[in-house]
Amino acid sequence: MKDEELDLDESMAATMAEISEREAEDEPETEAPDVDSGDADEEVSEPIAAEDASEETVSEDESEDEVDSEESVEQKEEVTATGRNPPLSWRPSAKEKWNKLDPIIQDEILKREEDTSKGAQMLKEKASYGDRVQSAVSPYMAMIQSKGGTVEQFIQGMGNTYYRLTTGSPQERAATIQNLARSAGVDLSQIQPPSAQDQQLSPLYGEIQTLKQQLNQQNQQRAQQEDFAINQALTAFESETDENGLKHPYFSNVENEMIAIIPQIRQNNPSLSHIEVLNQAYDNSIWANPETRQLLQVQQDRKIEAERKRKAKEDAAKAQKANKVNLRKGGEHTPSQAKPTGTIDEEMAATMKKIQNR
């Protein structure tokens, strides 16, 4: 039994020795994590510093964004103050959001609109010229097509013929006339010379023709002057401004409706000027157009609500002022109010004495 106890003691001693050796061997290894942990702490501290820096950067960016936004608002206010107007071709709902755009975007849009307008004007002029040419040759289109020719050939041939008849030598003029008569199937030898009466009336025919040309020119000039006056009135009407910008911002949106009703307004009111007719046509058209009518109704409702609030505020101020006056008067003695002169007994005795003396 003693041997077993001895063996147990030895075994426990050996086990304790092994544990001590392990602890001794583990001590250097425990120092390394301390160093590593310090590095780790430093490494951890660096991202924290980076995060702080990023937060500072974000705050700086946010402050810059706030400054930029304030500058943008100021720029937009300057845009409204300087009177930049939206493109006339925009729809009314788009024009309402014009002042919310950045000024740089506004400039780019206006430049693009200007370039487009110039290009469209050039195309319009060419198209107008082509329409006039087409209108001039339309009476002769059947003849031109029957000869297998084109409008260009017809114009060029007539121009060459007229040029030879007016600038050529007598021989060239005679040859040109003969060629024209031959192409038209006319035998010049069958033409009778003018009689004495025709010779006498020939100057009158010339004068009549001259008068006709003058009348036509005068009519054309009068029509051109009327068109010019109307165009001037339209231009002035379209570009007229007030303290809010364009006075007629939806002109381009209702121009067709205005053109349709202007003759009727002119017929019913012949004494009105061009501007008065345009104003009446514009007012009627913007309320007849569904899109502009909706915007005008919203604007009108806003004005009515603003006026209601203003009147309510004014009435409240008047009522408050009246209450202050009433309170001040209620706390004062009226001139007829008797002021106390003594005790109640004294007052009663004085009153009885007055009654007895009556």
What is the distance between the terminal CA atoms of the chain, rounded to a whole angstrom? 146
* The predicted structure's pLDDT at residue 284: 92
pLDDT in tens, 202-224: 778 788 888 998 998 898 888 88
Q: Return the structure tokens found at 295.
A: 């915007």
> 32 in a domain, yes or no?
yes
User: Rounded to whole angstroms, how far apart are CA atoms 246 and 84?
Assistant: 9
> 6 in a domain, yes or no?
yes
Angle at 149 between CA 147 and CA 154, to 5 degrees: 110
Q: Return the structure tokens found at 89.
A: 């071709």
Please list the residues that pair with 242 across neighbouring strands: 245
Global pTM? Answer: 0.36
Q: Return the structure tokens found at 19.
A: 């544990």
Contact between residue 131 and residue 123 where contact means Cβ atoms under 8 Å apart: no
Contact between residue 87 and residue 110 where contact means Cβ atoms under 8 Å apart: yes
**How many domains are there within the chain?**
1
> 182 in a domain, yes or no?
no
> 65 in a domain, yes or no?
yes
Across 169-187, average pLDDT: 86
> 354 in a domain, yes or no?
no
Supply the angle between the helices 2-82 and 103-137 in degrees, to the nearest 10.
50
User: Rounded to whole angstroms, how far apart are CA atoms 100 and 86?
Assistant: 11
User: What proportion of the chain, given as a percentage, has pLDDT over 90?
Assistant: 5
Across 267-287, average pLDDT: 88
| pLDDT confidence band for 24 (50 / 70 / 90) | low
User: Rounded to whole angstroms, how far apart are CA atoms 141 and 281?
Assistant: 40
User: What proportion of the chain, given as a percentage, has pLDDT over 70?
Assistant: 70
> 287 in a domain, yes or no?
no
> 235 in a domain, yes or no?
no
Q: Comparing 314 with 13, which gets the higher pLDDT?
A: 314
Q: How many CA atoms lie within 13 A of 2 on its CB side?
A: 0
Q: Which of 120-124, 225-229, 291-295 has the lowest mean pLDDT?
A: 225-229
pLDDT in tens, 237-249: 888 888 878 888 8
At 258, give phi and psi (nearest 5°).
-65, -45
> 104 in a domain, yes or no?
no
* The predicted structure's pLDDT at residue 34: 46
User: Rounded to whole angstroms, how far apart are CA atoms 55 and 67?
Assistant: 18
pLDDT in tens, 38-67: 444 444 444 444 444 444 444 444 445 444
Nearest residue to 239 via CA among 280, 269, 278, 271: 278
pLDDT in tens, 337-352: 555 555 676 777 777 7
Q: Which domain holds residue 61?
A: 1-81
User: What element of type H or E holds 103?
Assistant: helix 103-137
